[in-house]
Amino acid sequence: MKAVRASRRWSVLASGMLVLFGFSAAAQEAVTEPEFHFARLAFGAYGSDYGSRRSEPWLRDWPEADFHFTQGLGRLTRIPTTANNRHVRIDDDMLFDYPVLYAVKVGFMRLTDWEAARLREFLNRGGFLIVDDFHGPEEWAEFAASMRRIFPELPILDIPPEDEIFHVLYDLDQRVQIPGAQAIWQGVTWEDPRGKTPYWRGVYDNDGRLLVAINFNMDLGDAWEHADNAFYPEPLTALAYRFGVNYVIYAMTH
């Protein structure tokens, strides 16, 4: 009789251990499941073939830039990433599902008042916007006009060298112009002769949190896109990755 009871106790214990380890494995799988999706902001007239044309300004350097950067982010940090990157329209409620948005060619963005209000809500909720790959005074003027629609009360400022975003993981004391591939082929670092000086600018909220990281007269996307091409200088690709990684970590922790 004692032997039977002991056998039952061991059976119950074994079942409990299996349940415990089963839940542990499931919990571990849930923790390690990729969570961070690199989200590219779609703007303008989307059309019926939205997302399928590389000619759309907001699609520049896609999909290679997004894929390569996400792969690098996963290798260089402990942020769980996925290669399933996203396009997010301003009028889509999924806009609020992503902590970081990446936007290129923002000199062509030309937001409506309604779109500006949506992006304002996204940023005020804790979202973060990275803008990249726009050059020269005309594109700056268009982008600045859109930012005034989003935050008429907040100025665009130069990000000071000591700002945390330049030091949150990598110390980015070296800030040189990161050029597009076409500029590299031409032996220069600028895409617009009137845009030879790179600027790292931003928009801060009233509590000092950086809401928008502005890479003007630069092209981080091309550096990511051509990360596996020997013609593109490796030091510039490495620097572009470090900027991107710092931006994401800052966004995820502020």
In whole angstroms, give the CA distance from residue 80 to residue 77.
Answer: 8
Bond prior to 198 in cis (omega within 30° of 0): no
Average pLDDT over residues 83-111: 94
Average pLDDT over residues 102-128: 96
CB 199 within 8 A of CB 214: yes
pLDDT band at 34 (very low <50, low <70, confident <90, very high): low
Report helix, strand or coil for 50.
coil
Q: What is the pLDDT of residues 51-71, one digit of tens each?
A: 444 457 899 999 999 999 999
Give the pLDDT score at 48: 37
Q: Residue 134's beta-bridge partner residues?
A: 218
Q: Residue 11's beta-bridge partner residues?
A: none
Of the candidates 117, 78, 125, the residue with the CA atom closest to the CA atom of residue 99: 125
Q: Where are the domains of the chain?
A: 1-33, 36-253
Report helix, strand or coil for 205.
coil
In whole angstroms, give the CA distance from residue 26 to residue 248.
Answer: 28
pLDDT band at 35 (very low <50, low <70, confident <90, very high): confident
In whole angstroms, give the CA distance from residue 53 to residue 72.
Answer: 25
In whole angstroms, give the CA distance from residue 140 to residue 150.
Answer: 15
pLDDT band at 232 (very low <50, low <70, confident <90, very high): very high
DSSP state of 90: T
In whole angstroms, give the CA distance from residue 199 to residue 184.
Answer: 19
For tokens 């030879």, the residue is 196
In whole angstroms, give the CA distance from residue 142 to residue 106.
Answer: 8
36-253 maps to CATH 3.40.50.12140: yes
- pLDDT of residue 135 exceeding 90, the answer is yes
